[in-house]
Amino acid sequence: MSTTTDPQGGTFRLSMLMNDSRYRSLTLQAIAAILLAISIGYIISNLLANLAEQDLNISFGFLATPAGYDINQTLIEYTSQSSNTRAAFVGIINTLLVAILACITATVLGVIAGVLRLSNNWLVRKLMSFYVEIFRNIPVLIWIIIIFTIVTAVMPSAKSYLGEDPERGMLGGIIAFTNRGVYVPAPFFTNGFGGEEGSIANWLLVIVVLFGSLFATRAMTARANKIQEDTGIRPGTLWTNLAIWLVPVAVVLFILGLSWDFPDPLANRFNLRGGLQIGAPLIALWLALSVYTGAFIAENVRAGIQAVSKGQTEAASALGLRPRRTMSLVILPQALRVIIPPLISQYLNITKNSSLAIAVGYADITATLGGITLNQTGRAIECVLLLMLFYLTISLLISAVMNVYNSSMKLKER
């Protein structure tokens, strides 16, 4: 005997496609698939018709042709004869440069402001909420433009630093703040790879050494932890760690022959020569992204610290921990679990907002590939697609990092 809810076997009626839960989802998906196919087909046919009408085609050949424009701020070698691909790479590196710089300063600023918002000092607390509210509620584009205007309109011209008897001296004799940007001493190697010109290999070597030091110090800390667990006494690691950080780098830099190229006010009558010029657009973008995102990070930090229940602080002091150790051993490890995921998405936001570089003429990927290359070659579809591909890759990478972090930090529950 069958219950009434059992499907009646045998006959299949058309109405069952919609009314029988076994088939309904398939029916709906089939309808969705058909609609999707129709709309994609419609869009593509429109695209082809438009391209045919304007005698255009889709081709990525322009990537190999010379770009034909100059970029003022490049970290890799680039001339106007370089290919469009090279220009895009310059843009990618510039995007990553400003994003990394802004992530670092925004974090520092945000953590300071977030902690100060919880200070017992009324005035400081109010000042910090003022900072947060002001910067969160005004578009980042306005901040970028304002800081760019400060740099270009308020800073003195490079000319005032020039000559035997300049109007103003450089900071410490080596740093000049001008309306074209900041001139700082540039490091270079006298006997590194690649001769006088220098090559990127020198810097890679330095970075590799720094990574070596990082792993060595982590090994030292692990060893100290082990000794502490075995004997109860923690060996001091401060001096050994400091030595591990400084000595190898110092040796490598000495062997490579590090020296500095100072900005020279006497070499030229029109502009400062030598040194490293950090252009005004880069400064504007960097500072604006830092203060803007710093305000958001401050809120995340505050929320994270407040999310740790008061009982934790009380328990820690009941155990006899001093306030500083309570903070570093009890509060922060728990707060970081709350703070870090939104922090990483703020980093993602910085990377995406760095595309506003185009408003102040900083040559990031949006300004090179999506700006000048697009306008000169007229390859709108190809350029915009590549641009989106780049940002998608970055954001997928960052989300992957976030997922790894989240799964490693997940509360281990029984």
Partner 1 sequence: MSDTHAHSVAFVRTETLPQAAAPSNAAGPTKWMRDNLFATPANGLLTIAAIYLIYLVLASTLPWMLNGVWNAGSLAECREILQGTSGACFAVLTERWPQLMFGFKYPASEYWRPTLAFVLMFVALAPVLFFDLPRKLLIVTALFPFVAFWLIWGGTVWTPIFALLGVIVGYLVYDRFVAQSFAAGFFGGIAAAIVVWTISGYIVPALAPEQPWLEAVPSRDMGGYMLNMMLGITCVSLSIPLGIILALGRQSSMPLIKWICVIFIEFIRGVPLITLLFVASVMLAYFFPPDQTVDLFLRVVIMITMFSAAYIAEVIRGGLAALPKGQYEAADSLGLDYAQAMRLIILPQALKISIPGIVNIAVGLFKDTTLVSVISMFDIIGMIRGPILASQDWNGLYWELFLFACLVFFVVCYGISQYSQWLERRLATDHR
Number of residues that bind partner 1 (CB under 8 A): 51
Residue choice 37, 75, 108, 142 for contact with partner 1 (CB under 8 A)? 142
Going residue by residue from 17 to 56, which x/- string records binding to partner 1, judged by CB under 8 A? --------x--xx--xx--x------x--xx-xxx-x---
Kindly state the smallest distance separating residue 282's Cβ from partner 1, in Å: 18
CB 182 within 8 A of CB 213: no
CB 340 within 8 A of CB 387: no
Radius of gyration of the chain (CA): 29
In the set 57, 65, 80, 119, which binds partner 1 (CB under 8 A)?
119
395 binds partner 1 (CB under 8 A): yes
Identity of the residue, 121 or 228, whose beta carbon is nearer to partner 1 in the bound complex: 121
Transcribe 341-391 into DSSP letters. HHHHHHHHHHHHHGGGGGGTT--SHHHIIIIIIHHHH--HHHHHHHHHHHH
Of the candidate spans 71-79, 202-210, 235-243, 383-391, the one that interacts with partner 1 by CB under 8 A turns out to be: 383-391
CA distance 209 to 212: 5
Q: Which of 76, 243, 384, 401 binds partner 1 (CB under 8 A)?
A: 384
96, 258, 358, 409: which one binds partner 1 (CB under 8 A): 358
Q: Which stretch binds partner 1 (CB under 8 A): 3-11, 64-72, 211-219, 391-399?
A: 391-399
- Is 138 a binding residue for partner 1 by CB under 8 A? The answer is yes
Closest CB to partner 1 among residues 32, 266: 32
| Direct distance between the N- and C-terminal alpha carbons of the chain, in angstroms, rounded to an integer | 45
Residue type, 175: I
Residues with Cβ within 8 Å of residue 245, at least 6 apart in sequence: 213, 217
Query: Which one-letter DSSP state was computed for residue 5?
Result: T
Counting contacts by CB under 8 A, is residue 149 touching partner 1? yes
Helix (H, G, I), strand (E, B) or coil at 255: helix
Interface with partner 1 includes 355 (CB under 8 A)?
yes
Beta bridge partners of 108: none
Extract the tokens encoding 186.
Answer: 């540039």
CA 196 – CA 261 distance, rounded (Å): 12
Site for partner 1, rule CB under 8 A: 25, 28-29, 32-33, 36, 43, 46-47, 49-51, 53, 119-124, 127, 133-134, 136-142, 145-146, 149, 153, 352-353, 355-356, 358-359, 366, 370, 374, 380-381, 384, 387-388, 391-392, 395-396
